[in-house]
Structure 1
Amino acid sequence: MDYLEENNRLRKQLTSENERAYGDVVVYLRLSHAEERQTEELLLEIIDHLLEIQKKGGSYLDLFGSNSERFCDELLANLPGENKSALFKFGLVLVSVSVVVCMSLFLSDFHWWSILIRISYLLVVVMLTFKVLKKLLFLPKMKSLIYSWLFFTVVIVCLVGIEFFIATV
């Protein structure tokens, strides 16, 4: 069974309100520590229950409650972790580190310490980005946009500051 196709087929049957709330749950669970197959099976169970509730005139609140994040965390607490997200993050960091090293090799003032500073910064940004994305997911849209903008502004300002520091040392 192709879980993604089935999930997408069933999602078309949800009301816009239920689909939006379910979409947030999908992103939150897919960013979690759970193994991919378990996550997709869980999502199919959730959408089946949600469709049943919807047929009876209910909404996502009847299933998720008023705190969708807590609902997801309770489900995840019962699943064994695979570190899927850790593996993805490692791959992302590996590619990013490679780019930083290659870029640094082409700079005229090549210093190992400058590479280490950039790599350390990159690691922190990647890890924080995943944490921030999960936290912002269930906030109201405007609040989420403001916090996202602030987070990425701080990231850019810090990057400029680090590059300025490296250039002056």
Structure 2
Amino acid sequence: MVIERLTYDAVAERYETDIFTASQIVQDFSRASEKLKKHVYDYALLDSDTERKFVEQLDISNEIVVYAKLPKGFAIPTPVGDYNPDWAISFKESSVRHIYFVAETKGTLSSLKLREFESTKIECARRFFERIGSSVTNDHVKYDVVTDYSRLMDVVRSA
């Protein structure tokens, strides 16, 4: 019921570029990707094989301009705790319907396999990005949960 009435309002607060490095003093580079071409950094710290396969496809895609694994400090407040989406992706303008995309990568889209809190946070993120896409920016940021690169492309090419 709380989520049904949840709204997000625009504020003047902005993230500085150091959000990508501020909390990164000690890192486990055993989870690092191979050297990347289109990521904002040369390497990305990945949480799963799903993310590793996703990055491999993003990095060779002709439709992708640049992408970033979002840092833990980038959070959307929700009634059940802060939510950290996985990716910010920018596409070539003429190649897809949605130029700016925020993605959550999951190995499965089955709601039975997602924990209740996680599903709630994802629904809150949908509302957050709907708000941004409809009234805060003209660039129409799109958010969705995808299982892989193919699913991402299906989403950004659809209405």
Q: Structure 1 or 2: larger helix share?
A: 1
Calculate the TM-score normalised by the size of structure 1. 0.28
Q: Give the structure with the higher percent strand.
A: 2
Larger radius of gyration: 1
If the length of structure 2 is used for normalisation, what is the TM-score?
0.30
